[in-house]
Amino acid sequence: MRFQFTEEQKLFAGAVREALEKTCPPEAVRSGPRPGPGWAALADVGLFGAHVAEEYGGLGLTPVDTVLAYEETGWFAVPGPVVETGVVAPLVVPADRLADLAAGRLVVSARPAGDRFLPDADLADLVAAGGRVAPRGAVALTPHRSADPARPLFTDDLDAAGAPGLDHAAVATAAQLLGLGGRLLAEAVGYAGERRQFGTAVGAFQAVKHRLADVAVALEFAGPLVHRAAYSLAVGAPDAARDASAAKLAAGRAAHAAARAALQVHGAIGYTDELDLRLWLTRVFALRPAWGDDARHRARLAGALLDGVPRRLPEGP
Amino acid sequence: MDLTFSPQHQAFRSRVRDWLAAHVPAEPLPSMDTAEGFERHRAWERTLAADRWSAVSWPREYGGRGADLLEWLIFEEEYWASGAPGRVSQNGIFLLAPTLLAYGTDEQKRRHLPRMARGDDIWAQAWSEPEAGSDLAAIRATAVRDGDGWRLDGQKTWSSRAAFADRCFGLFRSDPDAERHRGLTYFMVPLEAPGVTVRPIAQLDGEAGFAEIFFDGVRVGDDAVLGEPGQGWRVAMATTGSERGLTLRSPGRFMATADRLLALARGSADAALRDRAAAAWCDADAYRLHTFRAAADLAEGIDPGAASSLTKVFWSELDLRMHELALELLGPDAPAAGPWLDGFLFALAGPIYAGTNEIQRNIIAERVLGMPR
């Protein structure tokens, strides 16, 4: 029993962080090309080949190996269909495209049946709706307004079948939401320490402290659910789908609380397009309903816990 | 990452489960905050102790089993899942003992720990005073050098279990001139000592769960001092962030409540309440996982420190949320709901004791997030 990551897993996340610090500053998210240098950096460190089998040139890693790295991609709000290409594509694209995927030469947009929108489909080489995969040129895409301008949405004319990769993508998205929540909390703490009113930093007021403390609590306890869900997927646990839903719900709630608190702490300046805060706020609003909205995951959870047997992992009484 | 238990840990779990199945009383004991219930709970502590189950993590020489942290967590989840009685010796075993093991002399450990393990001495905590609650360092009760010992004067309050307990532990001001965190000394005092008066206070449920303790020229020796004189604050706080932060409330207790909550929700047709029950179970599960994470960190020498304040806010609010939801599920039956009502009244105290959640949020903001004081 050891509920902790290995040094290698932490190093992989550290490599992603380092790469994104150099290539994905806020101005790149705001107005850089999509998918941009952050995407290329992720391809270089091997994130898009992480879940491709070694025989196709990938790393053959498990979700436990990459979940911390996905948190980093959330922290930097990297533009592009990162989860769709890195996590879903290895499960749905034809075998003859896996080598391209592993090498970082393939961009994939995807959605499960039941979700309407494809994110970043304009960038994609391949589009997957459930298990149906088609070249982008063969799909009629219609653009739609998105909460996050850096993550445009499209509908397609594919008859989506099934939801392959839903659990894996829900966990990776949950990890991104954790990263985004952490970033928003850090931005709020930083601003509250600088902004002065009534002759003192506003972060000295308990009303501000307690609100951010609650965000810290929510993020602290969402993390283990996300990490355990990654483990459940990696070992093929019988409750992996339940654990993925619990992770997505908790991370989504925590990130949303972080977004609300960060905006409130910044005040009017936070409500502007001029401040970078907007980049992380809108990404949270965009990701929360992605790969199963809360209603879908709540229904799965209730089914597993109330109609099924509430087994514990690790095993318990 | 490995979320499977070793064969040794599985065998330990089986031993705990078998013992509990054979020994847990079939009927719930009367409230430990009545004279009769207190003695019944003391007798249960003796039953536990006879087979070394009352303080599993202590060294064997003091009545424990030398259990590691994982074994302790396994014991706790089996204990609460079995429906076993609440622990009347909680204050001594989980609050005083870790400090005693870290700072006590060999003589103090030999004298107090075996009696604590057997329930011969039930300990009450004596931290708060009428003018020192959240601002604990404002303590006024005094300890004055008196020949070869000390003279204690003053008043403590909200002392859990003190109405029927045998001994208490708490902080007294031994140097009125020192900076307020520095002039304190940690004492262990018999409640039958001359000059000690205990006045029980009825709680929300009408029973004497805590008491005021008056000290009027109470004489104790140097052997009543835990750690060095003047170091009381440091001694009292030293273990709050480490094991004690982890062990004050084990996840087993909340998982047991969450399982019962799901059972209740299965009988409900209200989809919103059912969803909330499932969400509460996941929160308890998150607390359990967080504890396994903390155990892994501790095994690698990473001390949670101030982060234990995050934990206290989370479990106290979770406990309350689960009991409130249970009462909603019970609907018109709630006012007479027995264990759920008792549990609700107990859970209401959670955000107040062991440092109010407001104090915990200050600690989180200032020491975890680094916000200005």
- Chain A contact set for B373 (CB, 8 A): 204
Residues of chain A with CATH 1.20.140.10: 166-307
CB nearest A64 (choices: B1, B265, B370): B1
Q: Average pLDDT of A116-126?
A: 98
Q: Is B197 on the interface with A (CB under 8 A)?
A: no
CB nearest B369 (choices: A2, A216, A310): A216
- Chain B contact set for A222 (CB, 8 A): 286
Strands B196-201 and B210-221: antiparallel
Q: Average pLDDT of A184-207?
A: 98
Could you confirm whether domain B240-368 is CATH 1.20.140.10? yes
**How far is the alpha carbon of A264 from chain B, nearest alpha carbon, in Å?**
16
Residue of chain A nearest B16, judged by CA positions: A317
Inter-chain touch B296–A204, beta carbons under 8 Å: no
pLDDT band at B247 (very low <50, low <70, confident <90, very high): low
Which positions of B are annotated as active-site residues? 243
pLDDT on residue A309:
87
CB A188 within 8 A of CB A170: no
Buried-state track B328-366, b at ≥16 Cβ within 10 A, e below 16:
bbbeeeeeebeebbbbbbbbbbbbebbbbbbbbbbbbbb
Mutation target to probe the B interface, by most B beta carbons within 10 A, among A202, A208, A209, A239 is: A209
Read off the pLDDT of residues A164-175 as tens digits, 9 standing for 90 and up.
999 999 999 999
The domains spanning B7-88 and B123-230 adopt the same CATH topology? no
Rounded distance between C-alpha atoms, residue A19 and residue A122, angstroms: 25
Inter-chain touch B290–A227, beta carbons under 8 Å: no
- Chain A contact set for B297 (CB, 8 A): 4
Q: Is the confidence at residue B335, as pLDDT, over 90?
A: no
- Chain B contact set for A214 (CB, 8 A): 313, 361
Read off the pLDDT of residues B60-75 as tens digits, 9 standing for 90 and up.
999 999 999 999 999 9
Q: Is B12 helix (H, G, I), strand (E, B) or coil?
A: helix
Is the ipTM higher than 0.90? The answer is: yes
Q: Is the confidence at residue B240, as pLDDT, over 70?
A: no
Mean per-residue pLDDT of chain A: 97
Could you tell me the CATH superfamily of domain A7-155?
Acyl-CoA dehydrogenase/oxidase, N-terminal domain (1.10.540.10)
Domain boundaries B123-230, corresponding CATH code: 2.40.110.10
Alpha helices in chain B (DSSP H): 7-23, 35-50, 69-81, 90, 97-103, 106-118, 232-238, 243-247, 251-266, 271-299, 308-330, 339-349, 357-363
CB A298 within 8 A of CB B273: no
Q: Which fold would CATH assign to domain A166-307?
A: Butyryl-CoA Dehydrogenase, subunit A; domain 3 (1.20.140)
**DSSP assignments along B270-288, one per residue:** -HHHHHHHHHHHHHHHHHH
CB nearest B3 (choices: A217, A314, A317): A314
- Chain A contact set for B9 (CB, 8 A): 1
- Chain B contact set for A314 (CB, 8 A): 3-5, 292
Domain ranges of chain B: 7-88, 123-230, 240-368
**How far is the alpha carbon of B346 from chain A, nearest alpha carbon, in Å?**
22
CB nearest A209 (choices: B78, B271, B362): B362
Q: Average pLDDT of A222-233?
A: 98
Q: Is the confidence at residue B287, as pLDDT, over 90?
A: yes
**How far is the alpha carbon of A59 from chain B, nearest alpha carbon, in Å?**
18
pLDDT band at B308 (very low <50, low <70, confident <90, very high): confident
pTM: 0.97
Could you confirm whether domain B7-88 is CATH 1.10.540.10? yes
Inter-chain touch B4–A227, beta carbons under 8 Å: no
CB nearest B292 (choices: A3, A200, A210): A3
Q: Is B285 on the interface with A (CB under 8 A)?
A: yes
Residues of chain A with CATH 1.10.540.10: 7-155
- Say how many residues make up chain A: 317
- What phi and psi values does residue B370 have, to the nearest 5 degrees? 75, 30
Inter-chain touch A210–B295, beta carbons under 8 Å: no
Amino acid at A277: L
Q: Is the confidence at residue B241, as pLDDT, over 80?
A: no
**How far is the alpha carbon of B48 from chain A, nearest alpha carbon, in Å?**
19
